[in-house]
Homo-oligomer: A and B are copies of this chain.
């Protein structure tokens, strides 16, 4: 192997920062099981899992268990890492249990008899053992009772992938936590230590794939699929492989032109196909378990099959055919829309674009093509309806794309925990196969029985000391992994677990941070763009308020506010976007009185004097929301201030500084948006609070 992982003082290990367990009774209870670590398989994956476990036990319990490859079933105690199929485990594991452990799953079983005190962690394959190991370590850290350790865990979705929008110059598109850990100055970094630790973090939350380069593939990044870079990439793949993670690459659809010197990238062209076949073969000669390609085609100035009059299915299937023999997949982004819209054109509705582009192609994609769909129809706003593509493509592999990095949600300066929003999205019932057709059942593949399904999360990490800029933004990465593994889990439980693993289990610490996390998205929404309004941000960098920043642009993102009303009519009487949903959503979204209020301005053009359910006019709601939202930041600050002394000083101060910035910027949001509406309508605040003229 390249090198051994070790702790590094230059950055934290987030929720994997092990500290000794102080509860004596628990230590005494568990210690009996820690005499040794037995590895029933002799390969680097089990060896690595054993190392992880040994290091953790040393840090948590102060023990130094020996690592042994042979098992004496009459030994006094130990943690056994093995495969469920290992004969030596037959006496402990039932056939039913064996069957229940899937390809990436694991079983934990505690044997607590007089002389036999074992904790068995058993997986079906090499992949599951690292998940089981981290699961056990974290359960110890949560001081989970021995009996409660018993479990069989399988990820619900097969694809749990992080998308890095890292550029080869080291910058990260929409990155708010430093520079890329993969690239610098046009080359691949050889700092495998940091990548190793990143792999550990990802494996501990069940991630099994990483796309390491930006979906906008330009310049040198186009060449990542060539031998010029494949040797370096194979080293990264080697690190990831140890932790059950496959390496993927974003590609430029026009690579046959850029790299191959062909005069076309037409997916039906024989030379193009041959070029891709050769390229794929080369890639797999360097990286035998290469995951596949992520493709942003015909989207925001990236080339694609449309250029040649071909469909997205033509494009995706061509690549898929070359990858299929190697087990590779094509992940094809559904983020396709007209990004040169004329603002005067009120017929075109960007919200409809993904559905319009892809719905006709349902059933036309190859078995190893997966459509990656952003959660909403626009672009990661603080609130959008669920994309109607979920539930519209019954014969197509589908993945949910979440944005872990806080592009429109405060850029890791504002605290904005995204788990609550994501959970709402996943629990949305599309009704595509009648009641109970939840999004979570679509993206875990079960509803339509698809082989490939899952989650893509746009990374929020960089080379900063705490990985995510805002320390509490680590919770977003954690939560993405945990939800991708099991979207049925309660979001409170996921957030609580993160809090304890990161900051310890002091009651006040847990209560306060949990409150902060669970309320932060609602607070951010209140003082920015509530009611599904969205887009009132500065163009380009997307930070801070700019009420008409996108109003006359080409991006198709307009609210068209005038003196009387605001919003785009996306009902059947307007652009017809609501018709992309199944019933009863069509009718619900279509009706201004039934539409969920948090999405009111997404679906409707609403007069300022329209009465909301609580009797407030729209304009008064806007004012109230902004005053309240900005004020609630004080509560976030207070909750944090209460923890002074209970949190490591460095982290405390870092978060505190950001909270103070958040307050300042929340006031800016409040004042700009309130003034904007006041100037637009001339209607004063009923409560007479300060709105600048």
Contacts and interface: CB of A to CB of B under 8 A. Distances in A.
A564 interface: yes
Contact of A679 (B561, B678, B692): B561
A610 interface: no
A549 to B, nearest CB: 8
Interface string A670-683: 01100110111110
Contacts of A238: none
Given A545-B552, A548-B547, A552-B672, A344 B562 contact: no
Contacts of A190: none
A560 interface: yes
Nearest to A690: B344
A9 interface: no
Contacts of A693: 346, 560, 562
A679 B546 contact: no
B563 A563 contact: yes
Contacts of A549: 549
A693 B675 CA distance: 22
A562 B692 contact: no
B692 A344 contact: yes
Interface string A198-241: 00000000000000000000000000000000000000000000
Contact of A563 (B343, B671, B672, B680): B680
Contact of A682 (B343, B546, B562, B679): B562
Given A344-B692, A671-B344, A552 B560 contact: no
Contact of A681 (B344, B563, B675): B563
Contacts of A343: 672, 692
Nearest to A552: B672
B679 A563 contact: yes
A379 to B, nearest CB: 21
Contacts of A678: 562
Contacts of A668: 552
A561 B681 CA distance: 11
B547 A682 contact: no
A452 to B, nearest CB: 43
Interface string A652-693: 000000000000000010011001101111100000000011
Nearest to A538: B539
A548 B545 contact: no
A346 B692 CA distance: 10
Interface string A542-578: 0001111100100000001111100000000000000
B672 A562 contact: no
Contacts of A561: 679
A676 to B, nearest CB: 8
A677 B562 CA distance: 9
A681 B564 CA distance: 10
Contact of A552 (B346, B546, B562): B546
A565 to B, nearest CB: 10
A389 to B, nearest CB: 30
Contacts of A562: 678-680, 682, 693
Contacts of A679: 560-563, 680
A584 to B, nearest CB: 32
Given A547-B548, A548-B547, A563 B682 contact: yes
Contacts of A564: 682
Nearest to A566: B679
A546 B681 CA distance: 20
A560 B560 CA distance: 19
Contacts of A547: 548, 552
A681 B680 CA distance: 8
A446 B672 CA distance: 49
A549 B563 CA distance: 19
Contacts of A346: 693
A678 B552 CA distance: 14
Contacts of A545: 552
Contacts of A546: 548, 552
Interface string A330-345: 0000000000000110
Interface in A302-345: 343-344
A354 to B, nearest CB: 26
A549 B548 CA distance: 8
A126 to B, nearest CB: 51
A185 to B, nearest CB: 16
Contacts of A671: 344
A680 B551 CA distance: 13
A560 B671 CA distance: 14
A676 B547 CA distance: 13
A369 B468 CA distance: 51
A680 B560 CA distance: 11
Nearest to A546: B552
A459 to B, nearest CB: 28
A673 to B, nearest CB: 10
Given A549-B549, A563-B680, A679-B680, 19 more contacts: A343-B672, A344-B671, A344-B692, A346-B693, A545-B552, A546-B552, A547-B552, A548-B676, A552-B668, A552-B672, A560-B679, A560-B693, A562-B678, A562-B679, A562-B682, A562-B693, A563-B563, A563-B681, A680-B680
Interface of A: 343-344, 346, 545-549, 552, 560-564, 668, 671-672, 675-676, 678-682, 692-693
A-B interface, 9 closest residue pairs, ranked by CB to CB distance from nearest: A562-B679, A344-B692, A563-B682, A552-B672, A548-B548, A563-B563, A344-B671, A562-B682, A545-B552
11 contacts: A344-B675, A346-B693, A546-B548, A546-B552, A549-B549, A561-B679, A562-B680, A562-B682, A562-B693, A563-B679, A563-B682
